[in-house]
Amino acid sequence: MEQQPLTAADPRFEERVRASFARQQVMATLGATLALVLPGEVQIALPFNQALTQQHGFHHAGVTTTIVDSACGYAALSLMPPGVGVLTIEYKVNFLAPGQGERFLAVGRVIKPGRTVMVSQGEVIATQGERESVVATMLATIMVVRDRPDVLD
Residues near a copy of itself (CB under 8 A): 1, 20-21, 23-26, 28-29, 50-56, 59-63, 65-67, 69-70, 87-96, 111-112, 116-117, 119, 121, 123, 125, 132, 134, 137, 139, 141, 143, 150-151, 153
Nearer to a copy of itself, 38 or 100 (CB): 100
> 108: closest CA among 151, 65, 48?
65
Please answer whether residues 114 and 80 qualify as being in contact, where contact means their C-beta atoms are separated by less than 8 angstroms. no
Question: Contact 98/58 with Cβ under 8 angstroms?
Answer: yes
Pick the closer one to a copy of itself by CB: 11 or 23: 23
Quick one: 52 or 76, whose CB is closer to a copy of itself? 52
- Closest distance between a copy of itself and the C-beta of residue 134, in Å? 5
In whole angstroms, the minimum distance from the beta carbon of 90 to a copy of itself comes to: 4
Q: Which residues make Cβ contacts (< 8 Å) with residue 136, sequence separation at least 6?
A: 61, 64, 65, 68, 93, 94, 95, 96, 99, 122, 123, 124
- The least CB distance from residue 94 to a copy of itself, in Å, is 4
CA distance 51 to 20: 25
Residue number, 45 or 139, with CB nearest to a copy of itself: 139
Residue type, 32: A
Using DSSP bridges, classify how beta strands 103-112 and 41-47 pair: parallel, antiparallel or unpaired: antiparallel
Rounded least distance, CB 85 to a copy of itself, Å? 8
